Structure 1
Amino acid sequence: MIRYLASCAALLLVAACAAPPTTGPARPTTPPEALSDSDEQAVARRAARQFITVVEDMEPIAERACRNRTSNINCDFLIVVDDRPGMPPNAFQTLNRQGRPVIAFNLALIADARNADELAFILGHEAAHHIEGHLARQAQNATAGAVIFGGLASLGGASAEAVRNAQELGASVGARSYSKEFELEADRLGTLITLDAGYDPVRGADYFFRIPDPGDRFLGTHPPNAARRDIVRRTAAEARSS
């Protein structure tokens, strides 16, 4: 199910009634400052149609993968659009208060996607985070880090405030300890979900080359972009040959 937030609701709901989009560029090559109001509206409608089509194709495939690979978790994905202005392109996965998995895209990312394959791969990647249980595993790592760092500080005779600071540091370190592995796991499963829905994950992973490369920093939250694209290529090749 797609839920549209605030001001973008009318645009997306109207666009859903239009003709399906192509998988070509979502934006014209004309510089943004040269676009008229009608041109900008046409670009927005095309981006909205493309996003809706991708969600309609991907959601049932992601939910089927979730049901086939897990047990006793909620696989009813809720797709939402964050329409806050001025935000950099972003998508993320979380849970709502009822434990329902939520995948959020903001307007900047929807507009920035050059084709449907990029949107599909990003959605598959975020769905894979839920299927792989990454939120719960990250919370466990954070708890373990807090216990270890806090315990060491306490054994060293630290004050109560110093122990609390150590626990906060430990939680941060613990949460980051396996985040790179989580991202690569999500890339791998996201590739399979994207393929199953009829999209090209390798083309979709081209998005990595248009965002800053985090490199391979110690305790960084994301692996190098080249490593991510490599695992997408290898996973897709293996799936297509099987």
Structure 2
Amino acid sequence: MKGRALLRVLPLLVLLLAPGCATNPVTGGTDFVLMSEDQEIALGRKLHPQILKQMPAYEDPALARYVRSVGERLAETSHRPGLIYRFTVLDSPDVNAFALPGGYIYVTRGILAYLNSEAELAAVLGHEIGHVTARHSVRQYTTATTTSLLGAVIAGATGVRAAGDLASIAGTAIVRGYGRKHELEADRLGAEYLARNGYDPRAMLRVIGVLKDQEAFERERAKEEGREPRVYHGLFATHPDNDRRLQEVIAAAGRLGTGPARDGRDTYLDAIEGLVFGDSEREGVRRGNRFYHLALDFALTFPPGWRIDNLPDRLVARTPKGDGMLQFTMTDLNKRIPPRQFMIRRLGLRDLRYGEAIRLGELEGYTAIAEVNTAKGRLPLRHVVLYRGDKALVFTGGADRSADPFRYDADILRTVRSFHALSPEERGLARAQRIHVIRATAGTRFADLARNSPIPDHPEAQLRLINGYYPGGEPRPGERIKIVR
């Protein structure tokens, strides 16, 4: 009976999956896809504003023009030159680059800090252009959708509930496999576009080396700080630079080049002069255990050793052992109600205990203990609300259930009471750190540069990383190198 049910379902599958043959722009062959080019472009157009809402564009028109000019030259020699490509530098310290369907390509200012030539920038952009020209997102979407449809239809026809799960697992494996294949294909195409534009395709190997070093350092630092590492998603981060297949595609692309390859190191270093490194002024700046926000005009001091994570909508500080935390957010005030009522009505807190009114200078507030649901169960946490103009400042913190839940209460209250408007001296500290390019002398050493650097943690390692000298080596006399100040 189940075999007959499957036979009955096959014609339905044919009807569902029939409308999907398209010419592959790269190979010229026929691909089975479930999205037209117009739909692909429309999807990218829809997602682009959502990306910019999460990560705004970096405000440097000259740098944006430079990145766009490099990307457009590569795109003009790609397999889909008729697309209008949009290249955006995102204001994010994360090391990343990615592409959306239809020609929307993004690089973060974080990744730009670690590149050292125009050829390396072209390698990153060429890789992402390769994803677009080969329509990888469309092909992965088709794989996932086809597998999902197949699993759902089989499960419904046979009555075997596990069939859908099996199809889902198989679909995940297929997509992951295609992803690895697609990354190598994107590198092959990127290397080809580099060669067509006079760059040495081996710049891709240099990028891999730099980003592998950065990834190793980031993973170690993330482990120390008890958080997830922020690493580049692409093949650069998953393949060694001696990968045989990658060496083969780069060698093949190198045969396409004519004449001496250009590197563009000086042009690139000129373009990133003044690039923000680390926290941006827009999101606020961390310096040790202190946090400064220029636009919002405030500073906070956290307990020594606490790790501060500056997220787009909140600050989260964690104890060195990871057994306590403090979260700070700001939200609009819309009604003139007492701070205690704000806790109850806006924060949804119940059974407030040990409540008392507090005042911090001109700021009126209230604090209390209330239990809330957390990832570690229902815990009693310290809550503080302070009114500042038309904003409510909300602090929530405590310890986990493993010991005294109030053992960090004094630290939390000290942090709350450290809130204040920026002093004239602190306004300078609230400025973002920036990359500057200098020329090395015979006596230039990274250890000496690190001693005078404002980079708060591992300054020597970070200076080595952004200059391609990690973990050892010193700059040559006369070489242009990047510092942070």
1:191-212, Cα deviation, whole Å (9 max, x unpaired):
1211222222202331112334
Question: What corresponds to 1:218 in structure 2?
Answer: none
Question: What corresponds to 1:119 in structure 2?
Answer: 121
CA distance in 2, matches of 1:183, 1:231: 14
Q: Unpaired segments of 5 or more residues in structure 2?
A: 1-48, 216-233, 259-485
Instruction: Give the alignment of 1:7-22 within 5 angstroms.
Output: 8-9=58-59, 12-13=60-61, 16=62
Question: What corresponds to 1:202 in structure 2?
Answer: 202
CA distance in 1, matches of 2:156, 2:177: 22
Ranked by relative contact order (alpha carbons within 8 Å, sequence separation 6 or more), the top structure is 1
CA distance in 2, matches of 1:124, 1:203: 11
- Structure 1 residues 147, 138: CA separation in 2 closer, same or farther (over 3 Å shift)? same
CA distance in 1, matches of 2:149, 2:182: 22
Question: What corresponds to 1:140 in structure 2?
Answer: 142
- Structure 1 residues 155, 231: CA separation in 2 closer, same or farther (over 3 Å shift)? farther
Rg larger for: 2
CA distance in 1, matches of 2:75, 2:107: 16
CA distance in 2, matches of 1:77, 1:124: 12
Residue 76 (structure 1) aligned to one of 72, 76, 84: 84
Structure in which a larger fraction of residues adopt strand: 2
1:98-153, Cα deviation, whole Å (9 max, x unpaired):
xx410011111111112221110110111111111111111112123324445565
Say whether residues 1:55 and 2:63 are aligned partners.
no
Instruction: Give the alignment of 1:26-175 within 5 angstroms.
Output: 48=63, 52-67=65-80, 75-85=83-93, 87=94, 89-95=95-101, 100-150=102-152, 157-159=159-161, 162=162, 165-175=165-175
Deviation, structure 1 residue 239: 1.5
CA distance in 2, matches of 1:141, 1:6: 31
Moved more, 167-176 or 74-83: 167-176
TM score, norm. by length of structure 1:
0.62
CA distance in 1, matches of 2:206, 2:107: 18
Moved more, 145-154 or 109-118: 145-154
Question: What corresponds to 1:193 in structure 2?
Answer: 193
Deviation, structure 1 residue 174: 2.8
Question: What corresponds to 1:31 in structure 2?
Answer: none
2:85–2:103 CA contact under 8 A, matched in 1: yes
1:153–1:166 CA contact under 8 A, matched in 2: no
CA distance in 2, matches of 1:170, 1:126: 27
Question: What corresponds to 1:237 in structure 2?
Answer: 254
- Structure 1 residues 111, 200: CA separation in 2 closer, same or farther (over 3 Å shift)? same
2:74–2:122 CA contact under 8 A, matched in 1: no
- Structure 1 residues 165, 84: CA separation in 2 closer, same or farther (over 3 Å shift)? farther
- Structure 1 residues 173, 63: CA separation in 2 closer, same or farther (over 3 Å shift)? same
Structure in which a larger fraction of residues adopt helix: 1
1:129–1:186 CA contact under 8 A, matched in 2: yes
1:162-218, Cα deviation, whole Å (9 max, x unpaired):
55544543442232122222111111111121122222220233111233499xxxx
- Structure 1 residues 240, 66: CA separation in 2 closer, same or farther (over 3 Å shift)? closer
- Structure 1 residues 164, 173: CA separation in 2 closer, same or farther (over 3 Å shift)? same
1:121–1:191 CA contact under 8 A, matched in 2: yes
RMSD: 3.5
Deviation, structure 1 residue 52: 4.5
CA distance in 2, matches of 1:206, 1:64: 23
1:7-27, Cα deviation, whole Å (9 max, x unpaired):
721xx22xx2xxxxxxxxxxx
Question: What corresponds to 1:35 in structure 2?
Answer: none
Aligned length: 185
Moved more, 136-145 or 224-233: 224-233
Question: What corresponds to 1:32 in structure 2?
Answer: none
- Structure 1 residues 84, 111: CA separation in 2 closer, same or farther (over 3 Å shift)? same
2:152–2:164 CA contact under 8 A, matched in 1: yes
Question: What corresponds to 2:382 in structure 1?
Answer: none
TM score, norm. by length of structure 2:
0.33
CA distance in 1, matches of 2:141, 2:56: 31
Question: What corresponds to 2:276 in structure 1?
Answer: none
Deviation, structure 1 residue 78: 0.6
Question: What corresponds to 1:183 in structure 2?
Answer: 183
Instruction: Give the alignment of 1:204-223 within 5 angstroms.
Output: 204-212=204-212, 222=235
SS state at 2:255 partner: helix
